[in-house]
Amino acid sequence: MPAQYVFRVSFHLAPSADVWVRPNEFRTVLRRPAAEPGDDGWLFFRDNLWRGEVNDREHARWLAEDALGVPVDDVEFRSLRADQAYVDALRDAIAADLAAFNADSVDEVVSKYLGSSIDVVEDPQA
């Protein structure tokens, strides 16, 4: 069940004083693998998203900078891209512990953290 979190990232290059680049600002898509529901790290959405947006821009920038190795200016959450089997497993894992989400239903949890930003596709890696 491959799945990934998709982010739009803006970054810039900051070369030494002896060289310069043009352009020096870029926008790209960063994809982060989503852990299998129930596995270590599967709560990434709960810890980093709120209503389909990153919940802490500074933390999200730090994560992107660490992954890319360049100064990141902005990070926007785009979607959780997953196949139907992953989404079903995610919903089952949420249902197994609704109290951990302070919610009454799986739909409430999904809306609270992911908003409407789940893209169900046949091949999330494509």
Give me the pLDDT at residue 73, please: 97
Are 75 and 54 in contact, with CB atoms under 8 Å apart?
yes
What is the chain's Cα-based Rg? 17
Q: Are strands 49-50 and 53-54 parallel, antiparallel or unpaired?
A: antiparallel
Extract the runs of DSSP E, i.e. beta strands, from 1-126: 3-12, 25-33, 49-50, 53-54, 72-82, 118-120
> What are the sequence ranges of the domains in the chain?
3-120
Give me the pLDDT at residue 15, please: 86
Are 54 and 63 in contact, with CB atoms under 8 Å apart?
no
Dist. CA 93–CA 43, nearest whole Å: 10
Dist. CA 59–CA 124, nearest whole Å: 25
Dist. CA 75–CA 82, nearest whole Å: 20
Tens-digit pLDDT profile for the chain (126 aa)? 589 999 999 999 988 889 989 999 999 999 999 999 999 999 999 999 999 999 999 999 999 999 999 999 999 999 999 999 999 999 999 999 999 999 999 999 999 999 999 999 988 877
